[in-house]
Amino acid sequence: MEQAVARLAPVLPLLTELGARFTGAGHELALVGGPVRDAFLDRTPPDLDFTTSASPDETEAILRSWGSATWDMGREFGTIGARRRDGGVETVVEVTTYRADAYDGVTRKPVVAFGESLEEDLVRRDFTVNAMALRLPSLEFVDPHGGLADLRAGVLRTPAAPEVSFGDDPLRMLRAVRFVAQLGVVPAPEVYAAMQAMSASLAIVSAERVRDELVKLVLAPRPRAGLELLTATGLAAHVLPELPALQLEVDEHHRHKDVYDHSLIVLEQAIALEGPADGPPESVPGPDLVLRLAALLHDIGKPATRRFEPAGGVSFHHHEVVGAKLTAKRLKALRFDKDTVKAVSRLVELHLRFHGYGDGQWTDSAVRRYITDAGPLLPRLHRLTRADCTTRNVRKAQRLSRTYDELERRIDLLLEQEELAAVRPELDGNEIAEVLGIRPGPVLGRAYKFLLSVRLDEGPIGPEAAADRLRTWWADQPESSNR
C-alpha cells in the first residue's frame, strides 16, 4: 500500500485538498478505478477518476470554489468537470456521483440511477481490478471484491456475475480483451465462458465504440494475447471476422503455412521494428496504428484466393489486391477515418511488391515506381516487408534480408539523387499545353501522365529532351490529326 501511495505522490496534494473540500461539505470523495489500479502496478496514472456521494449540483458548487472553470456535459450521468491553473500548470478533474445504474439489455444506454454508497458504486464497475478505491483525504483503501489479489494473481474477474456484467454492457467483453493485451492478465474461467456464450450481444454496440476498443487493443504492448482471446471467444466474428477466417484448414500435405499464426507473428515482428516513441517520422515511432493494422490484415485476401494446384502446392494469386479491398471495407465499417483506411489498405496492396525484386534485377525505373507508389508510406512498407518474413529456414531468411538491404540502399541513393518524394514531370501543365498547343482538359492530363512515366522510367532527362519526347508521343495520338 505504501508503494502505491508513493506512486501517487505527485498528485497527493490535489487528492488531499479535494478530499478535504468534499468532506468539509459533508460528502464523501474517493479516487477510483484505473488510477488506483495503475498505482499498484507502479505506473503513474495518466488520468484521475473520482466518485462522490454528492449530487451533481453539490459537486458543481464545490468544484466552482476550487477551480477557474467548470463544465457539466456529463451531468445526465452525474459527472462534473473542473479546471484550475496554478503557476502555469493546468489541472483537470472529473467527479461522478455514486452510480447504481440499470440496463435494458437492448442498448448500452443505462437508466441512470445514483447510488447511496461507495461499495454500491464499485459493484457496478467492469472488473475487480478497476473496483478498488482510495477514500479521500484519509487514503483508506477500499477493495470489497478482491481486486488487489486478482491484480497480483494476473486474473480478470467481474465484481458481479460476468453474465450480469456483460449483459449490462457487452462492450466490457472487448475491454476484457484489451486488458489482457495491456496488463498481461488472463480471464477467469467463468469470465471466459461468459464471453463465449454472449459474444453475439456485441451487436448492440456501436461501430465507433468497437473501433475505439480495437484501436486500444492493437496499440497495447502485447496485442497478440488479446487478439487470440478475441478469436477464441468468438468475439472476433463480430468485430473483425477476417481474423478468424485466416484459420484456414491446413491440408494433409501441409502445402501452406498457418496463415492465422503467420499474421500474428508478422504483427509481433512489425512491432519490434517500430522506432522509439520520440523518434523521427522515418523511424515509424511506436506504437504505430497504421503499421500494426497492415501487419495484422496483410493476408486477409488469402482465404478468398486459395487454390490447390493440380501439380501440387497451393496458390493465393492476387491476394494482396483482394486483401486491400477487404481491408478498406472492414475499416470503413468500423468507422475508421479516411486517411487510416487509405494508408492501411495501400500497405496491404503493396506488401508483396518486394518479392518481384528477385535477386536485385530491378531497373532504376522499377525502384522509382516502388518509391513513388509507396509515397509517404515507404518507411512503414520497409518494416511491413521485413516483418512478413517468418520462414524458419535461416539461410532463406538471411538471403531475403540481404536482398532487402540492397533494395533500401538503392532507394536511399535514388532519393538522394532525384528527390523522388516530390517527383514531377520535367514540364508543368502550362509548359505541356504550350508545347502541344492544347487547352486544359483530359488530353492535357494524359500528356502529363506520359511525361511522369518518362520521368520514372528514365530519371531526369532535361526539359528540352522531355519536350521532344512529348512531341513524339503526341504524333501518335488521334487528337493530333484533328489540329
Q: How far is CA 176 from CA 173, 181, 202, 233, in A?
A: 5, 9, 13, 11
Residue ending a domain, choose from 101, 126, 153: 153
Q: Contact 223/274 with Cβ under 8 angstroms? A: no
CATH number at residue 191: 1.10.110.30
Largest CA distance in the chain: 92
Residue 118: what pLDDT?
95
What is the count of structural domains for the chain?
4
Can you state the angle between helices 56-66 and 12-24, rounded to 10 degrees?
A: 130
Closest to 17 measured CA to CA, from 63, 49, 51: 63
Q: Contact 82/92 with Cβ under 8 angstroms? A: yes
CATH number at residue 87: 3.30.460.10
Tell me the residue range of the domain where 215 lies: 161-239
Residue ending a domain, choose from 422, 444, 463: 422
Q: How far is CA 135 from CA 50, 54, 138, in A?
A: 10, 14, 6
CATH number at residue 253: 1.10.3210
Residue ending a domain, choose from 129, 153, 177: 153
Q: Contact 371/411 with Cβ under 8 angstroms? A: yes
Residue 418: what pLDDT?
66
Task: Indicate whether 310 and 417 sit together in one domain.
Answer: yes
Task: Indicate whether 19 and 102 sit together in one domain.
Answer: yes
Task: Indicate whether 71 and 101 sit together in one domain.
Answer: yes
Count CB-CB contacts under 10 A for residue 64.
13
Q: Phi and psi (nearest 5°) for 116?
A: -105, -15
Task: Indicate whether 267 and 218 sit together in one domain.
Answer: no
Task: Indicate whether 233 and 118 sit together in one domain.
Answer: no
Handedness of CA 61, 66, 69, 73 (dihedral sign): negative
Helix H or strand E segment including 197: helix 189-198
pLDDT tens string 37-84: 999 998 877 778 899 999 999 999 999 999 889 998 888 889 999 999
Task: Indicate whether 448 and 413 sit together in one domain.
Answer: no
Residue 251: what pLDDT?
47
Task: Indicate whether 288 and 392 sit together in one domain.
Answer: yes
Task: Indicate whether 72 and 187 sit together in one domain.
Answer: no
* DSSP assigned state of 69: E
Q: How far is CA 185 from CA 100, 127, 343, in A?
A: 27, 12, 32
Q: Which DSSP string do the residues of 72-131 spell out, in sequence order?
A: -TTGGGTEEEEEEEETTEEEEEEEEE-B--B--SSSS--B--B-SSHHHHHTTSSSGGGS
Task: Indicate whether 393 and 306 sit together in one domain.
Answer: yes
Q: Beta strand pairing status for 140-142 and 69-71? A: unpaired
Cell of 61: 458548487
Q: Name the 3-class secondary structure at 362.
A: coil
Provide the residue type at 224 as one letter: R
Q: Contact 80/72 with Cβ under 8 angstroms? A: yes
What is the spatial distance between Cα 204 and Cα 173, in angstroms, rounded to a whole number?
Answer: 13
What is the spatial distance between Cα 367 and Cα 468, in angstroms, rounded to a whole number?
Answer: 25
Total H helices, total E strands in the chain: 23, 11
- Residues near 221 by beta carbon (within 8 Å), at least 6 away in sequence: 181, 182
Q: Name the 3-class secondary structure at 71.
A: strand
Closest to 331 measured CA to CA, from 322, 340, 323, 319: 340
Residue 342: what pLDDT?
98
Task: Indicate whether 20 and 78 sit together in one domain.
Answer: yes
Omega of the bond leading into 137 within 30 degrees of 0 (cis): yes
Cell of 464: 528540352
Residue 384: what pLDDT?
97
Within the chain, which residues score under 70 in pLDDT? 1, 101-112, 249-257, 358-360, 418-422, 481-483
33: left (phi over 0), alpha (psi -120 to 50) or beta: left
What is the spatial distance between Cα 152 and Cα 134, in angstroms, rounded to a whole number?
Answer: 18
Task: Indicate whether 293 and 440 sit together in one domain.
Answer: no
Task: Indicate whether 368 and 271 sit together in one domain.
Answer: yes
What is the spatial distance between Cα 23 and Cα 138, in angstroms, rounded to a whole number?
Answer: 10
Q: Phi and psi (nearest 5°) for 360?
A: 100, 25
